[in-house]
Amino acid sequence: MIKKLIAVVLVCMLALVSVACSSGSKTPSSDANENTSSNNESESTPSENGSSEGESSGDPAFMKFPKPVDVHIGMSVSPVDKTLPPGDSAQDNQYTRYLRENFNINVIVDWTAAEGENYNQKVSLAIASGDLPDGLVVNDRTYMVRAAKSGLLYDITDLFEKYASKQVKEIMASTQGRAMENASYNGRMVSLPNITVDTDGIYVMMIRKDWLDKLNLPVPKTLSDIEKTAKAFIENKMAGEHTIGIVGPDKNGRPYSTFLRSSNNRFGFDPVFQAMDAYPGYWLDDGTGKVVYGTLTENTKKTLELLARWYKEGIIDPELGTRDSSAEVVNANQAGIFFGPWWSIGYGNGDSFKNDPNANWQAYPVYSDDGKWNVRMKTVGTMYTLISKKASEDVAKAIIIMNNVLVRDEGIFDTSVAISWYPLRNVMAPADECEYEYKELWKILRGEADPEDYNIPGNPYKLMYSDAKAIKNVVKPADPNSEMLNVQDFDQTDFGKFQRFYSLLIGNRPYATITPDKKVYSVTYNQTETMERKWANLQKLEDEAILKIILGQEPISSFDEFVEKWKAQGGDEITAEVQAEYDKKNK
């Protein structure tokens, strides 16, 4: 009898192999928002702390609850962060205490997961089980839509109107309604969107200027210049035997950004595509109102042909697409050129300077052969704070207030504790924050402005004042009139500040000082109905085909086969959907 029972049980167990999958972990590629405005931002003084509190009494956006309100959250944490003082935790640190003391908001962390893939998995499971904590930040709109569609989210349309601070509303308004549109489902606001700086999606060329100087070469402007320069770097063994000309995406990276992930694509070839007037991964208007998918265009094909040739000639990293981490190569100073957004030098390659304090990384646009700088523009933001439908009204209010507080007070917290410990942190920054800071910081460096000029409470450019106070200690330009800083013009003692200013003043220089000739937006940055089902398959098809062509595993002629396949496996259907949405919008 028992034998039989065991048999039945065993059989059942074997039959149930895996309904849900087991977990695996991957190192997350560097998270953008971490880099754009994370650690080391500013110093706090107690007096400021006090003053901002005083001002806000009576404003519903900063009201103190009469009774403590418990807010349960799920939280993404960095496994390598060491900034929490001993005894503090995700649930009990300076930020949560600040919220408890000033607003009676009591944060309870239900679960934590390591940032990146692990966290996404956890979010995915939370949605799948229909069991969301009160508040949760998700990294992708797909999660938000999925949760909204399932009726798991709190409709905050009215609460937001009433309780969001003026500052938050101003930043939202600066996107011309795009942020609100993203945060809504069926016309109701169901999440708090993040709003990140435009320059997170502007890709430029990062190059070792000191290598150029050593070889007496000019700064390359066009693709053929870049080709020659990269060849020169390799031939002259600038980093020894294994010098890499141009770094490419690693195994978690992408050769170009896409409409779903339109920003912060480091080590992609976006500027190369753009210089050929190609915008793969974006939905484009072909000029007549007809929607085409950018990957399928003739220009994309031509660019792929070029990249394949570069790869064959050894100009691009031979380990493209399989490398564990491309950042390692840059940090080890083995490479001369890579492409990325403004923070890729400074924030993104700190170790490069630690290994060689004279590594003079500079950022420049890549021009087309007729001298045009084309850029693709990102969507407003990709992260969303979700509020569970099961949350009480007070809890929903509390989460909106937590966001107000973050936007208002981020500049005054003690930054020795990483700001990522702020519960439900979701960045809201004016789209032009980096360019604004670039211009104002230069005014200070030239002596045209005084740091105290920026002491404006409620300024949406929330880091401006603290940056203004610090800039002169870190940046000492040899020639204040040229704006062409070199690494030697920086004091690296306060390394966090050094990284921030390096990104702001050098990485961001192209976009802050040069107006692009053409700005390309995707027709949509969101998924349509059919995409939810079929996009994953198409994306896989695309990733595989593109990488194989670049690596020379397939000839360029296979591109046409890929296009046919893509169309047949749902691409045509999806294009028609995007077209319909586009037509509706243009009416």
Partner 1 sequence: MKGKRGNVEKHYYLMVLPGLVWLFLFSIVPMVGIVMAFQDYNPGLGIFGSEWIGLENFRYLMQLDDSKQVIINTLIISSGKIVLNLLVPLIFALLLNEVTQLQYKKLVQTIVYLPHFISWVIMASIVINIFGYRGAINTIRSWFGLEPRLFMADPSIFRQLVIGTDVWKSFGFNAVIFLAALTSINPNLYEAATIDGANRWQKTRYVTLPELRPTIVLLGVLGLGNILNAGFDQVYNLYNPLVYSTGDILDTWIYRLGLTNLQFSLATAAGLFKSVVSFVLITISYVLAYKFADYKIF
Cα 300 from Cα 40, distance rounded (Å) = 40
Which 511-540 residues touch partner 1, going by CB under 8 A?
Answer: 532-533, 535-537, 540
Site string for partner 1, 366-405 (x = CB under 8 A): -----------------------x----------------
Strand order in the sheet with 361-364: 244-246, 335-340, 204-208, 361-364
Smallest separation, CB 298 to partner 1 (Å): 23
Q: Considering the complex, state which of residue 5 and residue 216 has its C-beta at the smaller distance from partner 1.
A: 5
Q: Comparing C-alpha atoms, which of 539, 43, 12 is closest to residue 293?
A: 539
Smallest separation, CB 131 to partner 1 (Å): 8
Site string for partner 1, 192-231 (x = CB under 8 A): ----------------------------------------
147, 230, 359, 471: which one binds partner 1 (CB under 8 A):
147
183, 551, 563, 574: which one binds partner 1 (CB under 8 A):
551
Residue 528: helix, strand or coil by DSSP? coil
**Quick one: which segment of 28-36, 208-216, 443-451, 543-551 binds partner 1 (CB under 8 A)?**
543-551
Are 287 and 206 in contact, with CB atoms under 8 Å apart?
Answer: no
How many residues make contact with partner 1 (CB under 8 A)? 60
Residue 388: helix, strand or coil by DSSP? strand
50, 68, 79, 151: which one binds partner 1 (CB under 8 A):
151
Interaction between residue 79 and partner 1 (CB under 8 A): no
Interaction between residue 313 and partner 1 (CB under 8 A): no
553, 560, 576, 583: which one binds partner 1 (CB under 8 A):
553
Rg (CA), the chain: 25
First to last CA, the chain: 73
What amino acid occupies position 539?
A: Q
Smallest separation, CB 152 to partner 1 (Å): 5
136, 152, 205, 226: which one binds partner 1 (CB under 8 A):
152
The helix (H) or strand (E) run that includes residue 185 is: strand 184-185
Contacts of 187 (CB under 8 A, 6+ apart): none
70, 543, 560, 572: which one binds partner 1 (CB under 8 A):
543
**Quick one: which segment of 51-59, 143-151, 273-281, 285-293 binds partner 1 (CB under 8 A)?**
143-151
Interaction between residue 49 and partner 1 (CB under 8 A): no
Cα 519 from Cα 502, distance rounded (Å) = 25
Contacts of 399 (CB under 8 A, 6+ apart): 71, 134, 135, 192, 385, 387, 391, 424
Are 108 and 73 in contact, with CB atoms under 8 Å apart?
Answer: yes
- β-pairing, 374-376 with 518-520? parallel
What is the DSSP code string of 450-495?
-GGGG--TT-SSTTHHHHHHHHHHHB--SSTTT----GGGB--SSH
Interaction between residue 80 and partner 1 (CB under 8 A): no
Cα 21 from Cα 302, distance rounded (Å) = 40
Interaction between residue 22 and partner 1 (CB under 8 A): yes
Interaction between residue 256 and partner 1 (CB under 8 A): no
Site string for partner 1, 315-344 (x = CB under 8 A): ---xx-xxxx--------------------
Smallest separation, CB 308 to partner 1 (Å): 14
Cα 28 from Cα 139, distance rounded (Å) = 12
Which 268-307 residues touch partner 1, going by CB under 8 A?
Answer: none
188, 231, 251, 472: which one binds partner 1 (CB under 8 A):
251
What amino acid occupies position 352?
A: S
The helix (H) or strand (E) run that includes residue 406 is: helix 393-409
Smallest separation, CB 532 to partner 1 (Å): 8
Cα 264 from Cα 379, distance rounded (Å) = 11
Residue 153 DSSP label: B
Binding site for partner 1 (CB under 8 A): 2-4, 6-7, 9-22, 24-26, 120-121, 124-125, 127-130, 142-143, 146-147, 149-152, 242, 251, 318-319, 321-324, 389, 532-533, 535-537, 540, 543-544, 547-548, 551, 553, 569
